[in-house]
Amino acid sequence: MVKANRDEFSDHTKRIIAGRVNYRCSNPTCGTPTSGPTEDPTKRLNIGVAAHITAAAPQGPRYDLALSPEERRSPKNGIWLCQNCGKLNDNDPNRFSVDLLRHWKETAEANALESIGRRSPFDRHGEPQLVVHIPYNQGAISSSSVIFPSEVIENIRRLFPEYFREAERTQLLSHSAGRLGHPYIILGLSSSFDRDWKILFFVEEELGWNLAAETILENQKGYVPEVRYVSGTPGALVLTHVAGYGTGILCRTTSWYRVMQHAFMPLLSYPYYFHVAGWGMPFSRVLTAIPVEIPATLSPGAVLRLQFEVKYAMFDQNHSDDNNDELFTLAENLSLEWNAKAQIFAPKTAADDFARIEDYWNENTDQFIRRNRSHLQRLMQVGTNRQRQFIVDHLQ
């Protein structure tokens, strides 16, 4: 019911305000999803509120007497927030000013618009495909099993000579004596001066070594793929590889695959390293993933914790001074927890959103300015003459 003397939003207006930010809290330091399913498959829940930027009634926070009732009830005067941020917004109007809330609204709507049609990092389309040759089950074996990689590799060469004929070199990427399952060994066979790689995953079964799965990595630009196996039921194969490169760009990605009874299923991917120099933007950026905690086994509650460090620098094709080009460095700390029931990694908190890591790769100049407004303002005050001039020339 609409209370007397209050210019409340209609339900239709609330849906517009929420939908324009994809039902996420517009506070840029929160961004939590506010709508989703309940245990009842016929119902959904909502923890979001359509808050008034200027109050719906006199004596309310940020009330503007100059607005008409229609303007107060308009979607333009509303901002979508989670219940926590909505409460803070009303209780501390001096801190949460009209200008600040309008900036939040503008930024959240712009981010929602840019995300439409963008591939999520949890969409594994385009990842290397693993060809499965034999079911990989993880039955227990004797703890006395010992693996000697050099002997195993020679044995495998004799058993599978066709895979080694055109290889320029063989690289041992990972192996285990099988403490938590069958012994395995992962080999990389390179060709074209380490440009192309064939990854072979061998498992020792009752009758000897067999090829469990393989994949081909092309255009690796001389980088040796990194592979590890994380045990569990199922376990996971973790592959770091070059995903793309060109003039001024390079991207390496880490891809996780679940080890199922009869297949390796894509599980998760995220940037491991990338640099982008220019490409229409006056700045360059370099992202590096720093593993903080990698689970030893995919047991319930196991945590994958990563820090992403992003370094920004000025980019000028006609002038470059590596010692004087840096702007600032950002850090993102993200954590995922293994959900054994759903067999997925799930964000530990709403802030653990890998989609925003992809934004560093995709961002244009306007997005860069919005994301880093406070850093740029600080550089205008305390930065070098070159930094200040760069901001004046390119970012204002």
Instruction: Give the chain's end-to-end CA distance (angstroms, integer).
Output: 47
Instruction: Provide the whole-model pTM.
Output: 0.66
If residue 378 lies in a helix (H) or strand (E), which one and from where to where? helix 373-382
- Rounded to whole angstroms, the Cα distance separating 254 from 74 reads 45
139/56 Cα distance (integer angstroms): 65
Backbone angles phi, psi at 213, to 5 degrees: -160, 160
Helices and strands in the chain: count of H runs, count of E runs: 9, 18
Rounded Cα distance between 262 and 376, Å, is: 52
Q: Of residues 225 and 129, which shows the higher confidence score?
A: 225
pLDDT in tens, 176-206: 865 446 788 999 999 988 899 999 999 887 7
* CA 137, chain centre distance (Å): 30
295-320: per-residue pLDDT in tens?
Answer: 988 888 899 999 999 999 998 655 55
Burial 200-221 (b: 16+ CB within 10 A, else e): bbbbbbeeebbbbbbbebeebe
- Cα 369 from Cα 372, distance rounded (Å): 5
How many angstroms separate the CA atoms of 85 and 132, rounded? 48
CA atoms of 55 and 354, how far apart (whole Å): 35
Residue 299 CA to its chain's centroid (Å): 22
CA dist 85 → 32, 47, 65, 340 (Å): 10, 11, 25, 32
Mean pLDDT of 28-55: 87
Query: Tens digits of per-residue pLDDT, 213-223?
Result: 899 999 998 89
- 205 near 134, Cβ under 8 Å? yes
pLDDT digits (tens, 9 = 90+) for 328-353: 999 999 999 998 887 888 888 877 87
How many beta carbons lie within 10 A of that of residue 3, not counting itself? 9
Rounded-to-integer distance, Cα 303 and Cα 292, Å: 10
Q: What is the pLDDT of residues 55-113, one digit of tens each?
A: 888 888 899 988 999 999 999 999 999 998 888 888 888 888 898 899 889 888 887 88
C-alpha–C-alpha distance, residues 8 and 131, integer Å: 58
